[in-house]
Every structure is written in C-alpha cells, then in structure tokens.
Structure 1
C-alpha cells in the first residue's frame, strides 16, 4: 500500500524575510506516517516547513516544500499511484499577489497586502480520484464544526474527514495530544478522546484500513 500524506504548514513569502503562515508543527502528520509504516505501508510524506526531523524509516520518503504551490506540485506527482491520500497539512488559503524582492521598509501607519487564492490541493486532486482510492481530509474549525467538516468532506470528495476544534483544550496546533472527531459521507461519527498524537494516529490508521473498499 502506498500512502500520499501531506503535513505541516505552508509559508507564503511576502518579501525575503516575511511570510504568511500558521501554527501547524506537522506533529499529527508525522505521527500518521509512522503509524502507516507500522501497518506495512510505504509513505510519501510531503512536509511543509517543520522543525521535526525526517522520519528515520526507509519506508517513508520525505519531500520538503515551503509553499502551497510546491506542495500541490509534489502531491500531484504521486497521487495517481497512491492507494490512500491523507491531507493533514494546514495549507494557506491565500498568498500575496506579489512577492517583493527587497525587504519591505516600515513606512506610514498601515500596510495593505493584496492576496490571491492558493490552489485547493485536496479538492483539485479529488476531482481525479478513482473509486478504489481512499481520501482522508482534516478540518480545523472554531464554529459550526460538524456542519463545516461535513460540507468539506462532500466538496473535496473525501471518504473520511478528521475534525479538530480549537475549542478543545489540548487539541490542534502545537500540542503533543489531540482530540478528533471522524465523519464519513453517511454522517457516521467516530470520536477519539484526548490522547497522544501517536495514539490518535494509530487509531486513525486502523479506522482508515477498516473503511477501505475490499477491492482496494
């Protein structure tokens, strides 16, 4: 089994020293890579900027990228051949229209940046997903969590979506623990109570393998 797995944030440059980004560390995605390997899979881990070291397993090929465009390009190279897609990265929705060559100097009381949408990696690849391929997305929400996650699952052609709520203490970015809710297209829900991200990863991989079509 070949798994395509995205992890970490993306950084969208503004000038040579500044960028748009988020607080994702990549811990959940990297834990998932290790959990898949423990079940005998080979993993292509496409990682945005992260302080985590590359996983040591020879069955994990780590590809380091910075921007959403770079992450999409690398994911597109392997998506067709992968059996399972897991989009755990926190990809920036927007990027600056123009990246300034020199450092922007402080001037005036305000600074306006014009932003343009990034490619939606999961949605774009989801348009080409074959029936035997299995796709899993992640959603980090702060309000109307279940409704937003269910909408994202259908729009992006996911088989499962993993919902994080920033309202849950000890879950989300920066923690070694996580608490998630998994939804499928039928609205069935599986809850994972607060535990280490390694334990959550093992539980998610077991669930993914159990839900894959018998012909996969």
Structure 2
C-alpha cells in the first residue's frame, strides 16, 4: 500500500515510464498545481501536502491495469489533470485526450500541456456529448459520473478491445453490483493508495437486449 509521500516516491522509482524527465515534469506539475489551487479549487487543499500519493501515484497506478501496447487514452472530466496529465508524462508516446467542459480548467490543462511539453496530449474543451466519436484503447474517469450515466455518455468511444479503468473510491463494488442494462467484463481492483477505495477495471461488451413480449 502506498500510504505516504515517501512510499509514493519510492514506488515511482520502479514504475514503468518513470525516468529523469518524468520526475522533472511531475515536480513542475506539483509546483504549478499549488500555485493554481490558490486561484481556483482544482483539488482539496489538504491533499497538496501529499500530492505524490493522493494525485500522482493514484493516477499512475491505472497504468498497471492496461496493455503495454496501448496507443490512445481518453480521460473524461479531466479537471485538475488526474489521471490524464500523469499518464501523458509517464507515456509520452501515448495519445491522451483530456475532456473537460469548465473554462478555467480547460485553460489550466492547456497551459500544463504546453509547459510540460506533452505534445501528444490533446484537450477537448467541450461537454462530452459534443466530442466527436473515435475509438480509444483506454477510457478513464475519476469522479466523473455514476456508472449508468458514465456508460450512457461514453460507450460510443469503446470497442470490445477497450480497457476501462475507473477510480470509484468506496463506491466501486456497490456501483458495479447495481449496474444494469449492460453486458461487460468488469471487476473491482484494490486501489494502491487508499485501502478503502477500489478501481473498476475491464471491458464493455454492449447493451443488453431488451426481451420483447
């Protein structure tokens, strides 16, 4: 379990894609996040004291659940940039699409994408409903919407080969148990950064057919 800043930094030393450049980019992101959080509430203020654990490692752990050959990543409701910016830093050759509809956060994501030199990260500054459909190898969403709404809005970006990685906190098992109307191969994985949190991971097959009587 990654239960401290020291543990998070130690975990990153053996994480795939972590090198000197990734370290520098994450250090810069931490500085800019603290500065920007004084202007707009990107993250809960107390979590700035444990940013490597609460935001960086919490985001990077998603990479342990996706295929290494992944080429595209769709992050819904990117907000402060977690997990999307961290994924872009650790996998600079991966095409990462960040979807965010709030103007001030769009500006923040664009500035960070540019300053961090993440040329393959793209910001879609729009409501998800207005984003043009394209197939993505991975779909992530951190605190975006409950499962039924999430799937209703984003299933069109998914194929049978798409991996979904959805941090769901304490509600993961309950949300998955209560999910109706979809055929899927989802399961819950334990979060590495929070003993009470879970990740919903797996593939989506499609909607269940309604039986006509």
TM-score w.r.t. the length of structure 2 is 0.39
- Higher helix proportion, which one? 2
TM-score w.r.t. the length of structure 1 is 0.38
